[in-house]
């Protein structure tokens, strides 16, 4: 009697082991007959077989969908690449014409060179995004920057003018605006992968000082270089302090806002004194002359404004830090 009660369970176990092979059509004829005979009498195994078939069909559909999307992407990529090649060749036509005219004496030698650099700028905004597979924005920005630099070098070489200081200023200006956009999609080394903000501010700081040095060398004014470096440093220091405050890991947003407000408020209050000390060597404290009842002279106006801004920043920073502490204690 016990053997008869165990036989259906044993048959179910055997059939369930055979179901994947049965659905894939890999069973022998005898196994197929056994499975089909059992499915006709066992609703549980029949439901399991239906679920396996449904899952198998969904897997096939997903695979086909993935294949269709991949083929569509490859087709679009080939079309974009061909369009990019065609546009690149079309951009070369005016360059070739200008070169032929220059060889025949109808134009200056610098015309085809400058025109080629200008066409490279157009290509960086059209061809590069079409032909790039990944990081299109970053590659377009890099190519556009290189093209602008080539234009400046070509114009300076053939028609005269400053090159080094112009190029340095161009790289600094473009990177100041577009580097945060370009670096988001760039793959950096593992050491810098989580330090993109540090890379941005370090790069901008470097090119700021390089631009100052290049302009000073081009104009032969090293005394002016010292003044420019001092002035730039007065603004760079609070920028770096802001970065360090924002980059702190164990500080919440209210605390970061309080620290940043404090940095810029204090900086605004003492910036004139720091500049005078660095450039002239004179020690002074503008806010010491503060008198809120007297706004008649520029000196008093500056002292009053510096005091009010600094005091407001200290109060605001204190309020933010206090709110952050209360939130943390809850």
Mean pLDDT of 101-122: 82
Radius of gyration of the chain (CA): 36
In order of 73, 179, 195, 257, 313, the CA distances from 246 in angstroms are 40, 19, 13, 8, 17
For residue 234, being part of any structural domain is answered with no
Q: How far is it, in rounded angstroms, from Cα 154 to Cα 98? A: 15
For residue 280, being part of any structural domain is answered with yes
For residue 18, being part of any structural domain is answered with no
Q: What is the pTM of this model?
A: 0.65
Residue 184, C-beta contacts closer than 8 angstroms, at least 6 positions apart:
138, 196
Q: pLDDT tens digit string along 18-61? A: 777 777 776 777 777 787 788 777 888 877 777 777 766 566 56
Q: Report the SS3 class of residue 283.
A: coil
Total structural domains within the chain: 1
- Using the Cα atoms of residue 133, residue 199, residue 179 and residue 229 in order, give the sign of their dihedral: negative
- Are 322 and 261 a contacting pair, CB within 8 Å? no
For residue 114, being part of any structural domain is answered with no
For residue 305, being part of any structural domain is answered with yes
Q: pLDDT tens digit string along 199-257? A: 889 999 999 999 898 888 888 877 788 888 888 988 899 999 989 888 877 778 888 88
For residue 226, being part of any structural domain is answered with no
* Lookup: tokens for 88: 């690149």
For residue 297, being part of any structural domain is answered with yes
Q: pLDDT tens digit string along 145-190? A: 999 999 888 888 888 777 888 888 888 888 888 888 888 777 777 7
For residue 314, being part of any structural domain is answered with yes
Give the residue numbers spanning the domain of 269. Answer: 251-329
Mean pLDDT of 269-282: 80
The number of beta carbons lying within 10 Å of the beta carbon of residue 290 is 18
pLDDT of residue 205: 92
């Amino acid at each position: 009697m016990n053997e008869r009660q165990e036989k259906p369970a044993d048959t179910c176990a055997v059939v369930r082991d055979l179901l994947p092979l049965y659905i894939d059509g890999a069973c022998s004829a005898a196994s197929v007959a056994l499975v089909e005979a059992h499915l006709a009498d066992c609703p549980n195994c029949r439901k399991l077989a239906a679920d396996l078939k449904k899952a198998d069909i969904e897997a096939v559909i997903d695979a086909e969908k993935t294949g269709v999307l991949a083929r569509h992407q490859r087709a679009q990529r080939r079309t974009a690449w061909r369009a990019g090649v065609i546009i690149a060749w079309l951009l070369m036509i005016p360059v070739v014409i200008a070169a032929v005219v220059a060889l025949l004496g109808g134009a200056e030698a610098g015309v085809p060179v400058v025109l080629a650099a200008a066409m490279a700028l157009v290509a960086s905004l059209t061809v590069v995004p079409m032909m790039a597979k990944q990081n299109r924005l970053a590659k377009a920005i890099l190519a556009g920057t290189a093209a602008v630099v080539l234009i400046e070098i070509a114009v300076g070489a053939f028609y005269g003018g400053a090159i080094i200081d112009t190029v340095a200023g161009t790289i600094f200006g473009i990177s100041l605006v577009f580097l945060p956009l370009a670096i988001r999609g760039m793959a950096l080394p593992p050491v810098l992968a989580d330090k993109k903000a540090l890379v941005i501010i370090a790069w901008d700081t470097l090119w700021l000082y390089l631009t100052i040095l290049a302009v000073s060398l081009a104009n032969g004014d090293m005394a002016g270089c010292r003044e420019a470096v001092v002035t730039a440093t007065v603004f760079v220091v609070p920028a770096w302090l802001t970065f360090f405050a924002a980059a702190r890991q164990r500080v919440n947003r209210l605390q970061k806002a309080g620290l940043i407000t404090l940095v810029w408020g204090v900086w605004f209050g003492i910036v004139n004194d720091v500049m005078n000390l660095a450039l002239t060597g004179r020690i002074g404290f503008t806010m010491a002359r503060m008198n809120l009842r007297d706004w008649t002279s520029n000196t008093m106006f500056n002292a009053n404004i510096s005091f009010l801004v600094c005091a407001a920043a200290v109060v605001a920073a204190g309020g933010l830090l206090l709110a952050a502490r209360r939130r943390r204690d809850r």
